[in-house]
């Protein structure tokens, strides 16, 4: 396994360019409000022996909820259940001396608020962002940007690219300092659920790369062939940037229906058959772990630059997978 040089403030693309073998990276969620940063370190500690090249930190927009009051009526409240993405990135870089990649979303932000957030990241020495649209708010049927917010990931990419050229929203700022963000974008081997077909989705994907996306990080998938086909389609249409597979272990029977519903991904028949035969979730974990190890080995043979793991509460399983696969 390639041991990543533990240097701060390296761009994702530089990590990939300088790698001597397959890199590993992890995605974490900010702790639920009320928990400490220590809970995040407890989650990451078992994974640090693999010297991740970087750690992604997701962003969670405000959710509108209805809280029952004593008199039986409901009060509408706006809650951000997992705040702290920017602070967590700074904390990770400081605590582990590893690069952190905050996810940046369009939803819930005006373009001016986005600009200020980018300035915060720049001042903190964070030079990487994964640029996303974000999902619709829970109380909306389809994604709606804020008034004066970005609608698509490509609009947000263009805003970050502008800042990289010293172009701020305020036209009075002349010769503005240039940021230096390395921008990743999301890709969907099984198509984004809103796209009418894969061909149009890929065309949108190429537009994001042409607008400055320097690498593609994919949605999870359980069938490697879907990833291989996706990479081929991207290459055939002239997309040359690194494509990083996003990987997640299947650990409960419930996920057979939850993952397709939430993430719009298929579970291969062989995997679902094996999972359905399991009597306990411990057995499912074993099946899911073995499946992911096999996926990782095949992806390495295929030559992926990085294995990126969605760790979501399962650091021990990810640890077993990385140990066996690298
Ligand atoms: C690796 C990864 C990490 C993620 N992390 C987070 C996170 O931290 N927080 C979070 O809230 N969500 C996250 N998501 C979920 C993501 O925000 C959703 O999947 C969202 O629905 C789409 O985001 P996107 O950046 O792909 O959007 P876009 O690229 O904007 O695409 C959204 C849809 O619009 C279409 N489209 C794109 N451009 C245009 C255009 N110009 N005109 C018409 N249609 C267009 C696309 O085909 C697609 O169907 C993540 C997803 C991935 C794969």
Give the residues across from 182 on adjacent strands. 128
Residue 293 Cα to ligand 1 midpoint, Å, equals 27
- The vertex-289 CA angle with 287 and 291, nearest 5°, equals 70
Distances (CA, A) of 59 to 44, 131, 321: 18, 11, 26
Pocket of ligand 1 (CB under 6 A): 58-59, 103, 105, 132-135, 152-154, 186, 192, 194-195, 201, 204, 208, 217, 219, 246
Atom index in ligand 1 nearest the CA of residue 217 equals 1
Q: From atom 23 of ligand 1, which residue's Cα is the shortest distance away?
A: 133
The per-residue pLDDT for range 133-149, each reduced to its tens digit, is 999 988 889 999 999 99
Residue 306 Cα to ligand 1 midpoint, Å, equals 21
DSSP label of 61 = -
Residue 45 Cα to ligand 1 midpoint, Å, equals 30
Mean residue pLDDT across the chain: 95
Ligand 1 mutation pick, 132, 159, 312, max ligand atoms within 8 A of CB: 132
Q: From atom 17 of ligand 1, which residue's Cα is the shortest distance away?
A: 134
Ligand 1 mutation pick, 186, 187, 188, 219, max ligand atoms within 8 A of CB: 186
pLDDT value of position 8: 54
The per-residue pLDDT for range 21-78, each reduced to its tens digit, is 999 999 999 999 999 999 999 999 999 999 999 999 999 998 888 888 888 888 888 8
Go through the chain and tell me how many residues it has: 326
Q: What is the CA radius of gyration of the chain?
A: 20
pTM of structure:
0.96
The per-residue pLDDT for range 295-312, each reduced to its tens digit, is 999 999 999 999 999 998
- Residue 1 reports pLDDT greater than 80: no
CA–CA gap between residue 297 and residue 299 (Å, rounded): 5
């Amino acid at each position: 396994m390639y041991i990543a040089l533990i240097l701060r403030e390296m761009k994702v693309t530089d990590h990939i360019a300088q790698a001597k073998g397959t890199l590993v990276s992890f995605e974490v969620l900010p702790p639920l409000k009320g928990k400490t940063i220590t809970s995040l370190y407890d989650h990451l500690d078992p994974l640090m022996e693999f010297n991740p090249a970087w750690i992604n930190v997701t962003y969670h927009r405000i959710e509108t909820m209805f809280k029952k009051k004593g008199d039986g009526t409901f009060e509408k409240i706006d809650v951000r259940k997992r705040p702290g993405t920017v602070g967590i990135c700074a904390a990770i870089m400081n605590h582990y001396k590893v690069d952190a990649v905050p996810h940046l979303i369009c939803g819930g932000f005006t373009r001016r608020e986005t600009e200020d957030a980018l300035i915060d990241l720049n001042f903190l020495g964070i030079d990487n962002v994964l640029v996303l649209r974000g999902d619709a708010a829970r109380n909306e049927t389809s994604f709606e940007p804020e008034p004066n917010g970005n609608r698509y990931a490509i609009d947000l990419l263009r805003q970050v690219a502008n800042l990289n050229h010293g172009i701020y929203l305020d036209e009075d700022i002349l010769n503005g300092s240039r940021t230096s963000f390395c921008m990743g974008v999301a890709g969907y081997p099984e198509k984004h659920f809103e796209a009418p077909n894969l061909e149009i989705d890929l065309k949108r994907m190429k537009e994001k790369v042409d607008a400055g996306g320097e690498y593609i990080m994919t949605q999870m998938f359980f069938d490697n062939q879907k990833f291989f086909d996706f990479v081929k389609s991207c290459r055939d249409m002239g997309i040359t940037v690194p494509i990083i597979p996003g990987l997640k272990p299947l650990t409960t029977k419930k996920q057979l229906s939850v993952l397709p519903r939430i993430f719009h991904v298929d579970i291969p028949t062989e995997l679902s058959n094996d999972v359905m035969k399991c009597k306990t979730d411990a057995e499912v974990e074993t099946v899911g772990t073995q499946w992911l190890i096999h996926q990782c080995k095949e992806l390495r043979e295929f030559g992926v630059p990085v294995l990126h793991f969605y760790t979501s509460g399962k650091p021990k399983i990810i640890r077993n997978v990385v140990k066996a696969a690298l």
